[in-house]
Amino acid sequence: MNNEKIHIKEKIGYGLGDTASNLFFQSFMLFLLYFYTDVFGIPAAAAGTMFLVTRIWDSVNDPLMGILSDRTSTKWGKFRPYILWLAIPFGIIGVLTFTTPDWSVSSKIVYAYITYTLMMMVYTAINIPYSALMGVVSSNPIQRTSFSQYRFIFAFAGAFIVQGITLPLVQQFGGNDSSVVTVEQVNQQIVIHEQGTGASKIEMKVSVADADPIEKNLSLCVLTPEMFAEADTTGGVLMLKEGFGQKTIALSDHFEEGDLSTTPLELNVLNERKGFMWAMIVMATLAVTMFIITFVTTKERVQPSEEQKSSLKEDVKDLVANKPWWILFVLGVFTLSYVSVRNGAIMYYFKYYVGNDTLASGFMIAGTVATIASIALTEWLSKTFGKKKAYIYSMILTTILTVAFFFVGKEDIITMFVLQILISFVFGPTAPLVFAMYTDAADYSEWKTGRRATGLVMSASTMAQKFGWTIGGALAGWLLAAFGFKANVEQAEGALTGIQLMMSLIPAVGSALAAIFMVFYKLDDKFLNQVEKDLKQRRIDHSC
């Protein structure tokens, strides 16, 4: 076994690259569908279809990027240059994806198609080489598993950042934006007039001066012109679905006592459009910085044999014949479908089912902390059970706990958080285990055929992610529409049940199928140790 030592600084530097990627990847997983439906004003079904169309193309071009990077040769290596060259375009296009021009619905959909397609293309162009880099930092499978462990600890650190600061940043940058509404108080009425379509939420505190002061909050959701509906304000919430235009609220309908003609008002307008754009500017700045650190701190140590001739036909032929690659690809699709549907439903679950969307960030963070803690056990799990068994056991437990989530009532907040922590803890190691297996599949291909195409083999990792993300993202939008979801109005019982299903039984199907497919994976640790020895000897022989 190769006992090569690599300094922890390089592993941390490599890990920061996935933090950078996840600042946007997690933003898309957690907030993009919500952003499109509840902030930008795109119908849920249209958003689901857009995810399907754009991500299918994006998934298909992953192997093309793998082929290109395999044939790149610079003084910096094959894969590292792309991290440097594409860091800034990655940040710029990420911000544009969350920028919302005040156009018609059809024009918004076109804009979303263009910006999201460009974002996924630049994500592919930087993430395929980044993933392939893990296959050439060392020839030692244990070292690569260590790199994978660091990668996913830092990946979920990116998720932690997104979950912890995105909504507070939206509030910070989009709060108290008086430019999008005007408020006039006339006698016992408040007249609110929307300027453009920027206001997402208006919180109004009305203090009535009398012997027994009364305070009441009226929360007004303001969105796009196609969403008008008024709900009972008894609970302090008035749902609208048509932009205000001009909306008159009679205070006497809500307060029985006091002279309301001079009632003082405290008004807070949250412009989520502005807030999300500036939040993504912060994320982009962090991502660009981290990608550059990854470029500076990493090295490419494993090179194809000098006798290997470049042949696209042979590379593709080898890939198609690589059975472990196909198994990893399929279970990757199931895994990301699980993640995409469930994570995409979190904002809707807390906003509409629980009735308190401020809990969403804490819920996400609790899961991410548990995930990071469990990922730290990946190397131990790999050595104790082997990567294959560790993955299967994790997925079985994930499925059982996810099914249990369906039976949680809307008032059972503690149970929700406990289950989220347990699900995240048992699910966490699966990602680094699978990515380490992809590097094993690259070794297996070289051992079997005498040819190495790391970029093409590793492109399967992100291609599987994207197919799973495609299926899960499209399903999320379509399911919301099928269950009768309507943005920013009180949901019918069927829609609430559907949102529950999207947090539990529906994604559990994906995790169960992933566990089943892993049974057919044949590259165990004993076999891989022999593969490493054989490849090492071949390289020595070729160098003589």
Q: What is the pLDDT of residues 83-102, one digit of tens each?
A: 999 999 999 999 999 998 87
* Integer Cα distance of 53 and 49 in angstroms: 6
Segment 56-64 shows an average pLDDT of: 75
* Integer Cα distance of 115 and 283 in angstroms: 17
Q: Which pLDDT band, with edges at 50, 70 and 90, does 543 fall under?
A: low
- Report the predicted TM-score, pTM, of the whole model to 2 decimal places: 0.68
Instruction: Please report the pLDDT score of residue 240 as a whole number.
Output: 37
Average pLDDT, the chain: 79
Instruction: Please report the pLDDT score of residue 214 as a whole number.
Output: 37
Q: Which pLDDT band, with edges at 50, 70 and 90, does 159 fall under?
A: confident
Segment 390-411 shows an average pLDDT of: 96
Q: Identify which of 459, 16, 76, 142 has the alpha carbon closest to the alpha carbon of residue 300.
A: 76
Instruction: Please report the pLDDT score of residue 187 as a whole number.
Output: 56
324 touches 521 (CB < 8 A) = yes
Instruction: Please report the pLDDT score of residue 59 as a whole number.
Output: 67
Three-state secondary structure call for residue 85:
helix
What separation in angstroms does the CA of 158 have from each of 121, 165, 367, 436? 20, 11, 13, 20
The first and second tokens of residue 120, run together, are: 């996924």
Instruction: Please report the pLDDT score of residue 52 as a whole number.
Output: 82
Q: Which CATH number, 2.40.50.140, 1.20.1250.20, 3.40.190.10, 3.10.20.30, labels domain 8-174+273-300+318-543?
A: 1.20.1250.20
Q: Which pLDDT band, with edges at 50, 70 and 90, does 104 fall under?
A: confident
Q: DSSP code of 206?
A: E
Lowest mean pLDDT among 184-198, 317-331, 478-492: 184-198
The first and second tokens of residue 106, run together, are: 């059809």
Of residues 81 and 267, more confidence is placed in: 81
Give the best-scoring range by mean pLDDT among 32-36, 194-198, 263-267, 527-531.
32-36
Domain boundaries, the chain: 8-174+273-300+318-543, 178-270
Q: Identify which of 502, 477, 481, 485 has the alpha carbon closest to the alpha carbon of residue 49.
A: 477
Give the best-scoring range by mean pLDDT among 244-248, 319-323, 491-495, 525-529.
491-495
Three-state secondary structure call for residue 183:
strand
Find the largest Cα–Cα distance for the chain.
97
Instruction: Please report the pLDDT score of residue 407 as a whole number.
Output: 96
What separation in angstroms does the CA of 222 have from each of 112, 216, 225, 249? 21, 19, 9, 14
The residue with tokens 């997983």 is 29
Q: DSSP code of 77?
A: B
Lowest mean pLDDT among 75-79, 189-193, 271-275: 189-193
Instruction: Please report the pLDDT score of residue 17 as a whole number.
Output: 94
Instruction: Please report the pLDDT score of residue 250 as a whole number.
Output: 47
Buried b (16+ CB within 10 A) or exposed e, 245-257: eebebebeebbee
Q: Which pLDDT band, with edges at 50, 70 and 90, does 115 fall under?
A: very high
Instruction: Please report the pLDDT score of residue 366 as a whole number.
Output: 93
Query: Exposed, middle or buried, 264 (CB in 10 Å: 0-12/13-18/19+)?
Result: exposed
Q: Which pLDDT band, with edges at 50, 70 and 90, does 65 fall under?
A: confident
Residues of the chain with pLDDT > 70, as a percent, come to 77
Q: What is the DSSP string of 426-487?
A: HHTTHHHHHHHHHHHHHHHHHHHHS---HHHHHHHHHHHHHHHHHHHHHHHHHHHHHTT--T
pLDDT at 38 over 90: no
Q: Identify which of 87, 79, 98, 90 has the alpha carbon closest to the alpha carbon of residue 31.
A: 98
pLDDT at 444 over 90: no
